[in-house]
């Protein structure tokens, strides 16, 4: 039974260190730890790597159309909604706070809106990574701005935790166990 872990972000060097790319960063960090390499897939319009029973995916369709690439891969492999985990940034959470959820709405996140419209379900798991909100900067500019050096150091610690969450999901721990273990820690 295949599982899918999607990191949301925008392709290209311009966005590589932006707050909106925390999903890509999480999967890149995991791939580095596991010594696996993403390959570009024209078929799925994404960078993907298969590792044991999991496919890691970074859609190249830009955030607002992420659902299209995910839908194509889900259809091709016949992956069930409950076997999908999506990692993405959340401006409504304090910086570096992690929050796991079974399902839900988009919370105004355009990547999740796209997934909801293409998958026609909200039954996929979510790992929200807090990036806070700025009252001083327009939201669209803020999420596309880079993390500061201090934020990068703090985020690195959370990427280690996210890698553990990915392993637990991959290793078939119940999602309730995973939520209990990590939602209570910060």
Residue 183 has pLDDT above 80, yes or no: yes
Beta carbons within 8 Å of 99's beta carbon, 6+ residues apart: 90, 93, 127, 128, 130, 183
- Per-position DSSP letters for 49-62, written without gaps between them: EEETTEEEEEESS-
pTM: 0.96
Per-residue confidence (pLDDT) for residue 25, from 0 to 100: 98
For the record, the structure tokens of 73 come out as 């891969």
**pLDDT per residue over 100-129, tens digit each?**
999 988 898 999 999 999 998 999 999 999
Cβ-proximal residues to 136 (8 Å cutoff; 6+ apart), any chain: none
Which position among 3, 19, 20, 72 bears the catalytic label?
20
Query: 20 an active-site residue?
Result: yes
Query: Domains (ranges, CATH) in the chain?
Result: 3-183 (3.40.50.1470)
At residue 186, the pLDDT reads 55
Interatomic CA distance for residues 113 and 50, integer angstroms: 26
The pLDDT assigned to 139 comes to 87
What was the pLDDT predicted at 1?
82
């Amino acid at each position: 039974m295949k599982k899918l872990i999607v990191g949301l972000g925008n392709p290209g060097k311009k966005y590589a260190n932006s707050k909106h790319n925390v999903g890509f960063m999480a999967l890149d960090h995991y791939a580095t730890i596991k010594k696996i390499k993403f390959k570009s897939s024209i078929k799925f319009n994404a960078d993907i790597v298969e590792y044991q029973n999991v496919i890691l995916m970074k859609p190249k369709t830009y955030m607002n159309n992420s659902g299209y690439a995910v839908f194509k891969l889900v259809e091709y492999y016949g992956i069930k909604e409950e076997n999908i985990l999506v990692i993405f940034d959340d401006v409504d959470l304090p910086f570096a706070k992690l929050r796991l959820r079974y399902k839900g709405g988009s919370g105004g996140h355009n990547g999740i809106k796209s997934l909801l419209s293409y998958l026609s379900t909200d039954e996929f798991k979510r790992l929200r990574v807090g990036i806070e909100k700025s009252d001083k900067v327009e939201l669209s500019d803020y999420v596309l701005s880079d993390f500061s050096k201090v934020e990068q150091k703090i985020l690195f610690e959370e990427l280690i935790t996210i890698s553990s969450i990915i392993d637990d999901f991959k290793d078939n721990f119940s999602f309730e166990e995973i939520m209990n273990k990590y939602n209570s820690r910060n």
